[in-house]
Structure 1
Protein backbone atom coordinates (compact mmCIF):
# COMPACT_ATOMS: atom_id res chain seq x y z
CA UNK A 1 0.00 0.00 0.00
CA UNK A 2 1.34 3.42 -0.87
CA UNK A 3 1.78 5.94 1.93
CA UNK A 4 0.12 8.77 0.00
CA UNK A 5 -3.08 6.70 -0.24
CA UNK A 6 -3.27 6.53 3.58
CA UNK A 7 -3.75 10.28 3.96
CA UNK A 8 -7.49 10.17 3.34
CA UNK A 9 -8.08 6.98 5.31
CA UNK A 10 -9.07 6.89 8.98
CA UNK A 11 -6.53 5.58 11.48
CA UNK A 12 -6.47 1.85 11.96
CA UNK A 13 -8.05 0.79 15.24
CA UNK A 14 -8.46 -2.43 17.19
CA UNK A 15 -6.05 -5.20 18.08
CA UNK A 16 -7.25 -8.04 15.81
CA UNK A 17 -4.35 -7.54 13.33
CA UNK A 18 -1.66 -6.76 15.93
CA UNK A 19 1.62 -8.64 16.05
CA UNK A 20 2.79 -10.13 19.35
CA UNK A 21 5.98 -11.81 20.51
CA UNK A 22 5.56 -14.06 23.55
CA UNK A 23 2.69 -11.92 24.83
CA UNK A 24 4.41 -8.58 24.16
CA UNK A 25 2.64 -6.30 21.70
CA UNK A 26 5.00 -5.17 18.93
CA UNK A 27 4.93 -1.41 18.39
CA UNK A 28 6.86 0.64 15.87
CA UNK A 29 7.30 4.29 15.17
CA UNK A 30 9.58 7.04 14.03
CA UNK A 31 11.50 9.92 15.44
CA UNK A 32 10.62 12.52 12.81
CA UNK A 33 13.37 15.10 12.43
CA UNK A 34 14.52 18.06 10.41
CA UNK A 35 17.62 20.20 10.31
CA UNK A 36 17.06 23.93 10.79
CA UNK A 37 19.47 26.83 10.61
CA UNK A 38 19.73 28.50 14.01
CA UNK A 39 19.20 31.83 12.22
CA UNK A 40 19.19 33.03 8.63
CA UNK A 41 22.61 34.67 8.77
CA UNK A 42 24.35 31.67 10.35
CA UNK A 43 25.52 28.42 8.74
CA UNK A 44 24.97 26.62 12.08
CA UNK A 45 22.32 23.90 11.89
CA UNK A 46 20.30 22.34 14.68
CA UNK A 47 18.47 19.03 14.91
CA UNK A 48 14.76 19.33 15.71
CA UNK A 49 12.42 16.43 16.45
CA UNK A 50 8.65 16.34 16.06
CA UNK A 51 6.55 15.35 19.04
CA UNK A 52 2.82 14.72 19.18
CA UNK A 53 0.32 15.00 22.00
CA UNK A 54 -1.25 11.97 23.57
CA UNK A 55 -4.90 11.38 22.65
CA UNK A 56 -5.86 11.18 26.31
CA UNK A 57 -3.70 13.89 27.88
CA UNK A 58 -1.45 16.81 27.06
CA UNK A 59 1.73 14.74 27.43
CA UNK A 60 4.03 14.68 24.42
CA UNK A 61 5.56 11.64 22.72
CA UNK A 62 6.94 10.32 19.45
CA UNK A 63 4.50 8.74 17.01
CA UNK A 64 4.27 4.99 17.43
CA UNK A 65 1.68 2.25 17.39
CA UNK A 66 0.93 -1.37 16.64
CA UNK A 67 2.74 -3.31 13.94
CA UNK A 68 0.08 -5.25 12.09
CA UNK A 69 0.31 -8.65 10.41
CA UNK A 70 -0.48 -7.35 6.91
CA UNK A 71 2.50 -4.95 6.69
CA UNK A 72 6.26 -4.98 6.99
CA UNK A 73 7.94 -3.11 9.82
CA UNK A 74 8.99 -0.12 7.70
CA UNK A 75 5.47 0.40 6.34
CA UNK A 76 4.02 0.11 9.86
CA UNK A 77 6.42 2.75 11.22
CA UNK A 78 5.64 5.07 8.30
CA UNK A 79 1.89 4.51 8.61
CA UNK A 80 1.84 5.22 12.34
CA UNK A 81 3.85 8.40 11.82
CA UNK A 82 1.54 9.58 9.04
CA UNK A 83 -1.62 8.74 11.00
CA UNK A 84 -0.50 10.36 14.25
CA UNK A 85 1.83 13.20 13.19
CA UNK A 86 0.79 13.96 9.62
CA UNK A 87 4.29 13.90 8.17
CA UNK A 88 6.00 11.91 5.44
CA UNK A 89 9.61 11.68 4.42
CA UNK A 90 12.64 9.47 3.99
CA UNK A 91 12.72 6.54 6.36
CA UNK A 92 16.19 6.01 7.77
CA UNK A 93 17.77 3.14 9.60
CA UNK A 94 16.36 1.38 12.63
CA UNK A 95 17.49 3.45 15.62
CA UNK A 96 16.80 0.97 18.35
CA UNK A 97 14.61 -1.57 20.08
CA UNK A 98 13.52 -1.78 23.69
CA UNK A 99 10.91 -3.28 25.99
CA UNK A 100 8.63 -0.98 27.97
CA UNK A 101 5.60 -1.30 30.23
CA UNK A 102 2.20 -0.16 29.02
CA UNK A 103 0.90 2.93 30.81
CA UNK A 104 -2.68 1.65 30.73
CA UNK A 105 -2.32 -2.09 31.29
CA UNK A 106 -0.10 -4.46 33.19
CA UNK A 107 1.55 -5.60 29.95
CA UNK A 108 4.81 -5.06 28.16
CA UNK A 109 5.48 -3.88 24.62
CA UNK A 110 8.49 -4.37 22.39
CA UNK A 111 9.22 -1.10 20.61
CA UNK A 112 11.24 -0.39 17.48
CA UNK A 113 11.98 3.15 16.31
CA UNK A 114 13.26 4.45 12.99
CA UNK A 115 14.48 7.88 11.98
CA UNK A 116 12.36 9.81 9.51
CA UNK A 117 13.77 12.84 7.73
CA UNK A 118 10.58 14.86 7.21
CA UNK A 119 10.06 16.13 3.68
CA UNK A 120 6.39 17.09 3.92
CA UNK A 121 4.05 18.26 6.68
CA UNK A 122 0.43 17.62 5.78
CA UNK A 123 -2.37 20.06 6.57
CA UNK A 124 -4.84 17.19 6.91
CA UNK A 125 -4.07 13.77 8.39
CA UNK A 126 -6.09 10.99 10.07
CA UNK A 127 -5.55 12.06 13.72
CA UNK A 128 -5.40 15.84 13.22
CA UNK A 129 -8.50 16.37 15.35
CA UNK A 130 -7.14 14.44 18.34
CA UNK A 131 -3.42 15.29 18.36
CA UNK A 132 -1.21 18.34 18.27
CA UNK A 133 2.29 18.30 16.84
CA UNK A 134 5.24 20.46 17.74
CA UNK A 135 8.84 20.79 16.53
CA UNK A 136 11.39 21.00 19.34
CA UNK A 137 15.10 20.89 19.90
CA UNK A 138 16.33 17.68 21.47
CA UNK A 139 16.79 19.45 24.83
CA UNK A 140 13.24 20.83 24.71
CA UNK A 141 11.93 17.35 23.88
CA UNK A 142 13.72 15.90 26.89
CA UNK A 143 12.02 18.47 29.13
CA UNK A 144 8.45 18.05 27.89
CA UNK A 145 8.55 14.28 27.63
CA UNK A 146 9.18 13.81 31.34
CA UNK A 147 6.08 11.64 31.82
CA UNK A 148 6.77 9.64 28.66
CA UNK A 149 10.54 9.42 28.90
CA UNK A 150 11.94 6.00 28.50
CA UNK A 151 15.56 5.36 27.82
CA UNK A 152 14.72 3.62 24.56
CA UNK A 153 13.38 6.77 22.93
CA UNK A 154 16.18 9.01 24.07
CA UNK A 155 18.75 6.36 23.25
CA UNK A 156 17.29 6.53 19.75
CA UNK A 157 17.69 10.31 19.72
CA UNK A 158 21.34 10.01 20.78
CA UNK A 159 21.86 7.61 17.87
CA UNK A 160 20.01 9.97 15.52
CA UNK A 161 22.25 12.84 16.63
CA UNK A 162 25.39 10.78 16.02
CA UNK A 163 24.06 9.61 12.63
CA UNK A 164 23.38 13.23 11.68
CA UNK A 165 26.99 14.12 12.52
CA UNK A 166 28.18 11.23 10.33
CA UNK A 167 25.74 12.27 7.56
CA UNK A 168 27.20 15.78 7.54
CA UNK A 169 30.72 14.35 7.39
CA UNK A 170 29.80 12.07 4.50
CA UNK A 171 28.00 14.80 2.53
CA UNK A 172 30.92 17.20 3.02
CA UNK A 173 33.19 14.49 1.62
CA UNK A 174 31.16 14.49 -1.58
CA UNK A 175 29.40 11.16 -1.11
CA UNK A 176 25.63 10.91 -1.05
CA UNK A 177 23.73 9.54 1.91
CA UNK A 178 21.58 6.54 1.07
CA UNK A 179 18.00 6.95 2.28
CA UNK A 180 14.90 4.90 1.72
CA UNK A 181 11.99 7.03 0.50
CA UNK A 182 8.57 6.13 1.86
CA UNK A 183 6.66 8.19 -0.68
CA UNK A 184 5.88 5.99 -3.67
Structure 2
Protein backbone atom coordinates (compact mmCIF):
# COMPACT_ATOMS: atom_id res chain seq x y z
CA UNK A 1 0.00 0.00 0.00
CA UNK A 2 1.33 3.43 -0.94
CA UNK A 3 1.63 6.01 1.83
CA UNK A 4 -0.67 8.97 1.17
CA UNK A 5 0.94 11.38 3.65
CA UNK A 6 4.25 13.19 3.20
CA UNK A 7 6.87 13.09 5.92
CA UNK A 8 7.15 16.25 7.99
CA UNK A 9 9.53 17.51 10.66
CA UNK A 10 13.26 18.07 10.70
CA UNK A 11 14.39 16.21 13.82
CA UNK A 12 15.88 13.35 11.76
CA UNK A 13 17.51 15.42 9.03
CA UNK A 14 21.07 14.64 7.92
CA UNK A 15 23.75 17.32 7.86
CA UNK A 16 27.25 17.43 6.40
CA UNK A 17 29.54 20.18 7.62
CA UNK A 18 26.55 22.16 8.79
CA UNK A 19 24.67 21.88 5.52
CA UNK A 20 21.38 20.00 5.36
CA UNK A 21 21.53 17.12 2.89
CA UNK A 22 18.78 16.81 0.32
CA UNK A 23 18.32 13.99 -2.18
CA UNK A 24 16.48 14.11 -5.46
CA UNK A 25 15.72 12.17 -8.62
CA UNK A 26 15.32 12.85 -12.28
CA UNK A 27 12.46 10.51 -13.21
CA UNK A 28 12.66 9.44 -16.85
CA UNK A 29 10.88 7.13 -19.27
CA UNK A 30 11.77 5.85 -22.71
CA UNK A 31 9.73 6.95 -25.71
CA UNK A 32 9.19 5.27 -29.03
CA UNK A 33 12.40 5.85 -31.02
CA UNK A 34 12.28 8.86 -33.33
CA UNK A 35 15.43 10.07 -35.07
CA UNK A 36 17.78 7.94 -32.98
CA UNK A 37 19.15 10.61 -30.64
CA UNK A 38 19.06 9.83 -26.94
CA UNK A 39 17.60 13.21 -26.02
CA UNK A 40 14.58 12.40 -28.20
CA UNK A 41 14.28 8.82 -26.95
CA UNK A 42 13.30 9.68 -23.42
CA UNK A 43 11.31 12.21 -21.42
CA UNK A 44 11.80 13.49 -17.89
CA UNK A 45 9.16 14.31 -15.30
CA UNK A 46 9.16 17.78 -13.78
CA UNK A 47 6.98 19.08 -10.95
CA UNK A 48 5.85 22.50 -9.83
CA UNK A 49 6.81 24.07 -6.53
CA UNK A 50 4.25 24.04 -3.71
CA UNK A 51 3.96 27.80 -3.93
CA UNK A 52 4.13 29.36 -7.36
CA UNK A 53 4.79 27.94 -10.80
CA UNK A 54 8.52 27.20 -10.67
CA UNK A 55 9.45 23.83 -12.19
CA UNK A 56 11.98 21.37 -10.81
CA UNK A 57 12.69 17.70 -10.18
CA UNK A 58 11.56 15.89 -7.00
CA UNK A 59 13.86 16.40 -4.03
CA UNK A 60 13.77 16.65 -0.25
CA UNK A 61 15.57 16.03 3.01
CA UNK A 62 17.60 12.85 3.52
CA UNK A 63 16.71 11.48 6.95
CA UNK A 64 18.75 9.45 9.42
CA UNK A 65 16.54 6.35 9.34
CA UNK A 66 16.74 5.75 5.58
CA UNK A 67 19.29 4.98 2.90
CA UNK A 68 19.95 7.44 0.10
CA UNK A 69 17.99 5.19 -2.27
CA UNK A 70 15.03 5.11 0.11
CA UNK A 71 15.11 8.90 0.46
CA UNK A 72 15.18 9.42 -3.31
CA UNK A 73 12.34 6.96 -3.84
CA UNK A 74 10.25 8.51 -1.07
CA UNK A 75 10.62 12.05 -2.39
CA UNK A 76 9.73 10.97 -5.92
CA UNK A 77 6.62 9.21 -4.66
CA UNK A 78 5.52 12.02 -2.33
CA UNK A 79 6.09 14.91 -4.73
CA UNK A 80 5.64 13.36 -8.19
CA UNK A 81 3.65 10.19 -7.59
CA UNK A 82 6.05 7.89 -9.43
CA UNK A 83 7.69 4.59 -8.52
CA UNK A 84 10.76 3.24 -10.26
CA UNK A 85 14.34 2.05 -10.13
CA UNK A 86 16.66 4.56 -8.46
CA UNK A 87 19.99 3.90 -10.11
CA UNK A 88 22.42 3.96 -7.21
CA UNK A 89 23.95 0.51 -7.80
CA UNK A 90 26.70 -0.92 -9.98
CA UNK A 91 26.41 -3.36 -12.86
CA UNK A 92 27.25 -7.02 -12.10
CA UNK A 93 29.54 -7.49 -15.09
CA UNK A 94 31.79 -4.76 -13.72
CA UNK A 95 31.86 -6.00 -10.13
CA UNK A 96 32.57 -9.74 -10.42
CA UNK A 97 36.11 -9.49 -11.90
CA UNK A 98 37.04 -6.95 -9.23
CA UNK A 99 36.04 -8.86 -6.08
CA UNK A 100 39.65 -9.24 -4.75
CA UNK A 101 40.20 -5.49 -5.09
CA UNK A 102 36.78 -4.68 -3.67
CA UNK A 103 37.40 -6.75 -0.56
CA UNK A 104 40.82 -5.21 0.01
CA UNK A 105 39.69 -1.60 -0.36
CA UNK A 106 36.05 -2.00 0.63
CA UNK A 107 35.42 1.44 2.14
CA UNK A 108 37.14 3.41 -0.63
CA UNK A 109 35.42 1.36 -3.33
CA UNK A 110 32.00 1.94 -1.74
CA UNK A 111 32.58 5.68 -1.84
CA UNK A 112 33.80 5.47 -5.45
CA UNK A 113 30.78 3.44 -6.57
CA UNK A 114 28.34 5.76 -4.80
CA UNK A 115 29.90 8.80 -6.45
CA UNK A 116 29.90 7.12 -9.87
CA UNK A 117 26.22 6.21 -9.79
CA UNK A 118 24.92 9.53 -8.52
CA UNK A 119 24.50 12.28 -11.07
CA UNK A 120 26.43 14.63 -8.85
CA UNK A 121 26.63 16.56 -5.61
CA UNK A 122 26.07 20.29 -5.42
CA UNK A 123 26.19 23.00 -2.77
CA UNK A 124 23.41 25.48 -3.42
CA UNK A 125 21.82 28.44 -1.70
CA UNK A 126 18.15 28.36 -0.80
CA UNK A 127 16.89 31.86 -1.57
CA UNK A 128 13.78 31.38 0.55
CA UNK A 129 15.73 30.31 3.64
CA UNK A 130 19.05 32.04 3.03
CA UNK A 131 21.07 28.92 3.88
CA UNK A 132 23.27 26.51 1.94
CA UNK A 133 22.28 22.91 1.25
CA UNK A 134 24.09 19.88 -0.11
CA UNK A 135 22.09 18.29 -2.93
CA UNK A 136 22.57 14.80 -4.38
CA UNK A 137 20.75 13.73 -7.54
CA UNK A 138 20.09 10.27 -9.00
CA UNK A 139 18.34 8.92 -12.10
CA UNK A 140 15.04 7.07 -11.69
CA UNK A 141 13.72 4.85 -14.47
CA UNK A 142 9.96 5.16 -13.89
CA UNK A 143 8.01 1.92 -13.73
CA UNK A 144 4.67 3.18 -12.41
CA UNK A 145 2.84 6.50 -12.41
CA UNK A 146 0.26 6.73 -9.63
CA UNK A 147 -3.12 8.39 -9.96
CA UNK A 148 -3.15 9.27 -6.25
CA UNK A 149 -0.10 10.51 -4.34
CA UNK A 150 0.59 12.59 -1.21
CA UNK A 151 1.19 16.01 -2.80
CA UNK A 152 -1.13 15.78 -5.79
CA UNK A 153 -3.14 18.78 -4.59
CA UNK A 154 -0.01 20.86 -3.96
CA UNK A 155 1.94 20.29 -7.17
CA UNK A 156 1.50 19.73 -10.87
CA UNK A 157 3.55 17.18 -12.78
CA UNK A 158 4.32 16.98 -16.47
CA UNK A 159 6.49 14.95 -18.83
CA UNK A 160 8.85 16.99 -20.99
CA UNK A 161 11.50 16.49 -23.61
CA UNK A 162 15.02 17.03 -22.34
CA UNK A 163 15.48 20.42 -24.00
CA UNK A 164 12.14 21.64 -22.68
CA UNK A 165 12.94 20.50 -19.15
CA UNK A 166 16.37 22.11 -19.20
CA UNK A 167 14.82 25.40 -20.25
CA UNK A 168 11.95 25.22 -17.75
CA UNK A 169 13.84 24.00 -14.68
CA UNK A 170 14.38 26.75 -12.12
CA UNK A 171 17.51 25.45 -10.40
CA UNK A 172 20.93 25.61 -12.09
CA UNK A 173 22.22 22.55 -10.27
CA UNK A 174 19.29 20.43 -11.44
CA UNK A 175 19.99 21.53 -15.01
CA UNK A 176 23.56 20.29 -14.57
CA UNK A 177 22.26 16.97 -13.21
CA UNK A 178 20.06 16.62 -16.28
CA UNK A 179 23.05 17.19 -18.56
CA UNK A 180 24.94 14.44 -16.70
CA UNK A 181 22.01 12.06 -17.17
CA UNK A 182 21.81 12.76 -20.91
CA UNK A 183 25.56 12.18 -21.27
CA UNK A 184 25.35 8.95 -19.27
CA UNK A 185 22.52 7.52 -21.35
CA UNK A 186 24.22 8.64 -24.56
CA UNK A 187 27.43 6.79 -23.69
CA UNK A 188 25.76 3.66 -22.31
CA UNK A 189 24.22 1.88 -25.26
CA UNK A 190 23.76 -1.51 -23.47
CA UNK A 191 21.79 0.20 -20.72
CA UNK A 192 19.61 2.06 -23.23
CA UNK A 193 18.97 -1.15 -25.16
CA UNK A 194 17.87 -2.94 -21.99
CA UNK A 195 15.58 -0.06 -21.05
CA UNK A 196 13.99 0.05 -24.50
CA UNK A 197 13.27 -3.68 -24.23
CA UNK A 198 11.76 -2.99 -20.78
CA UNK A 199 14.33 -5.17 -19.08
CA UNK A 200 16.30 -4.10 -16.04
CA UNK A 201 20.08 -4.08 -16.38
CA UNK A 202 21.46 -6.59 -13.81
CA UNK A 203 22.59 -4.64 -10.78
CA UNK A 204 24.11 -5.51 -7.45
CA UNK A 205 24.86 -3.45 -4.37
CA UNK A 206 28.00 -4.00 -2.32
CA UNK A 207 27.65 -1.06 0.09
**TM-score in same-fold range (> 0.5):** yes
* Rg larger in structure: 2
* Change in 2 beyond 3 A, CA 1:170/1:140: closer
In structure 1, what is the Cα distance between the partners aligned to 2:180 and 2:203? 16
Task: Please name the residue that 1:115 is paired with.
Answer: 139
Post-superposition CA distance 1:124-175 (Å, at most 9, x none): 0111111110000111012222xx231x2222212211221233345659xx
* Change in 2 beyond 3 A, CA 1:158/1:8: same
Task: Please name the residue that 2:120 is paired with.
Answer: 96
Q: Name the structure where strand makes up a greater proportion of residues.
A: 1
Indicate the RMSD between aligned Cα atoms, in angstroms. Answer: 2.3
The answer as to whether partners of 2:44 and 2:159 remain within 8 angstroms in 1 is yes
Work out whether 1:149 is the aligned partner of 2:171. yes
Work out whether 1:9 is the aligned partner of 2:31. no
* Change in 2 beyond 3 A, CA 1:8/1:177: closer
User: Secondary structure, in 3 states, of the residue corresponding to 2:151?
Assistant: coil
After TM superposition, the runs of 4+ consecutive aligned structure 1 residues lying more than 6 A away are none
Tell me the TM-score normalized by structure 2.
0.74
In structure 2, what is the Cα distance between the partners aligned to 1:170 and 1:27? 27
Q: Name the structure where helix makes up a greater proportion of residues.
A: 2
Aligned equivalent of 1:166, options 181, 187, 195: 187
Tell me the TM-score normalized by structure 1.
0.83
* Structure 2: unaligned runs, 5 residues or longer: 88-116, 195-199
1:53-72 pair list within 5 angstroms? 53-72=48-67
